[in-house]
Structure 1
Amino acid sequence: MESTYLNCLALFGVGGAHPGGLNLTRRILSREKVDESTKVLDVGCGTGQTSAFIAKQHQCQVTALDYNKMMLEKAKKRFQSMNLQIETQHGSAENLPFENETFDLLLSESVTAFTDISKTIPEYKRVLKPNGVLLAIEMVRNAVVSEKQLEEILNFYGVRQLLDEQEWLTQFQNAGFKHIEVEKVELQPDALPTEITNDYSLSKQIDPSFYKIFEKHHHLSIVYKDILGCRTFRCSV
């Protein structure tokens, strides 16, 4: 297996790897009307931490999708152990395997930036019902970066581009979202390793090189603390 940041998350089975973790997810969901009739899509569900929380908390229909088969298998095991009836789906955010206007609520937690954004956000819009809501937690560029800095960030995280807040807004607007609310997420780089250890689903054999990836992630989060930021976006029509 290639030593990449995303493969590292899969091997360690990190739940809530997105900035703010499950606590941020709880907070942004608390503002939404979610009941038994709500149909939720968790795009890039990972090991299923968020999907499990929503299904247990709100007793609603949840679909968990991920492109990484290892992550999806770990999510299935989580759901089975918790006796939760959550549909799992292997698929890409860039080409969602669902009919138009299927979901009331779609969550994307530090997922979209790792895809072809120009394809993914229109897909989010397509599968949402007319009054549906997209909740996205995304990596944002807070300051100007040199070519060398940008190259290091893009190569390590495996993202194609590093958008600033306005560029994200433009992408959402171009996809047809008219009402967009933005909130800055305050990050604490020194706390990242502790947050990461909160929820593991470890694979049996993990090459030592993947431990070094975690170390570099922590290092970059400190070195680029003024450049790498995070925002939550609430998008609706």
Structure 2
Amino acid sequence: MELSQNKRVADMNYFELIAWLGIGSSHPGGFPATKQNLAVLQILPDEYVLDAGCGSGLTACYLAKTIGCKVMGIDINSQMIEKARTRAEKEGVSHLVEFNIANVYDLPFPDNKFDIVIGESITVFLDKVKVYREFFRVLKPEGRIADLEMALLKELPVNLRHQMEDCFGAGTNPLSFEEWHNCLAEAGFQDVEIKNPQALKDNGNIVMNELKKDWVLIKDLTNKIKRQPTLLPRLQKNAGFMKRNRSYFGFGLIYGRKPTPVKLGFKDWVRQVIFRKKTNSSK
């Protein structure tokens, strides 16, 4: 998805806006939440990580620099991938991190490829079980999923849901922690739990805070504000919604493990073959 330089901010959806700004940590809690979650996961140097929806590569490069593990970062937006590759080169981790354009619904990787899949505020906009089943496929047996997502702490009134969708897009659908848990279990994961669950704090405009701290982004922000005078009001609108209604929202790390397939004994294998034959003959 490429954006025209002449496209107005008012005409961009939330994904386009974030991509145009090049933001990699617009998720709940920002980059501090990322570091908190990575500390809990205890990723090892010899593990291979898939960063799904990597954005501008902030988390992937941080992992490579601090742990020394290999990371594959994927994003559907080519502008994000370009910024991520620039970041990896500038930070000296290009030998550990690779970035490619890919869709989380149809990952271009074989089964049992990765030790861990991480995501940060992407599944909230998507078909959750479908995404989790694809993550399940590319994980090795005993591989882990760790998805930082927004959650509802109480039922969101219809009018506020409409306002939320107006700010962040029609597909925005945060679940309760219990519903997030159930989605991961339905996709086949075991030992499912919510790590680091917490309420959303009033920490101002996360997007603007991340823009100010990230050297990849700040260098061209001033020019973008000059070209697009409606940019700041748009960001303030989104931030204002979350600030007014933060009591409804929390976030946490949706965590699970891909089990090792159970090996069938000879008798179990024979029963399975007979069952399949009966099933096929009855169709």
| TM-score above 0.5 | yes
- Match for residue 158 of structure 2? 147
Instruction: Name the CA distance, whole Å, in 2 between partners of 1:234 and 1:3.
Output: 32
Tell me, yes or no, if structure 1 residue 195 matches structure 2 residue 206.
Answer: no
* Cα offset, 1:160, TM superposition: 4.3
Tell me, yes or no, if structure 1 residue 35 matches structure 2 residue 56.
Answer: no
AA aligned opposite 1:192: N
Instruction: Name the CA distance, whole Å, in 2 between partners of 1:35 and 1:111.
Output: 24
Does the 8 Å CA contact 1:3/1:209 hold for their aligned counterparts? no
AA aligned opposite 2:213: N
* Cα offset, 1:79, TM superposition: 0.7
Instruction: Name the CA distance, whole Å, in 1 between partners of 2:131 and 2:255.
Output: 16
Does the 8 Å CA contact 1:185/1:232 hold for their aligned counterparts? no
- Match for residue 82 of structure 2? 73
Instruction: Name the CA distance, whole Å, in 2 between partners of 1:212 and 1:7.
Output: 16
Alignment map for 1:14-25 (pairs within 5 Å): 14-25=23-34
The structure with the greater share of residues assigned to helix is: 2
Instruction: Name the CA distance, whole Å, in 1 between partners of 2:175 and 2:29.
Output: 19
1:8 to 14, 17, 27: 17
Calculate percent identity across the aligned residue pairs. Answer: 27
Structural RMSD (CA): 1.8
Alignment map for 1:79-118 (pairs within 5 Å): 79-85=88-94, 86-118=97-129
* SS of the residue 2:204 aligns to: helix
Instruction: Name the CA distance, whole Å, in 1 between partners of 2:32 and 2:90.
Output: 22
1:119 to 115, 130, 133: 130
Aligned length: 237
* Cα offset, 1:133, TM superposition: 0.8
Instruction: Name the CA distance, whole Å, in 2 between partners of 1:213 and 1:100.
Output: 41
Alignment map for 1:173-192 (pairs within 5 Å): 173-182=185-194, 183-192=196-205
User: Which protein is bigger by CA-based radius of gyration?
Assistant: 2
- Match for residue 276 of structure 2? none
Instruction: Name the CA distance, whole Å, in 2 between partners of 1:43 and 1:88.
Output: 10
Residue segments in structure 2 that go unaligned for 5+ positions in a row? 1-6, 259-283
- Match for residue 166 of structure 1? 178
* Cα offset, 1:230, TM superposition: 1.2
AA aligned opposite 1:165: F
Larger mean Cα displacement after TM superposition, 66-75 or 226-235: 226-235
- Match for residue 237 of structure 2? 216
AA aligned opposite 1:187: L
Does the 8 Å CA contact 1:103/1:128 hold for their aligned counterparts? yes
Larger mean Cα displacement after TM superposition, 40-49 or 30-39: 30-39
* Cα offset, 1:213, TM superposition: 2.1
TM-score normalised according to structure 2 size: 0.78
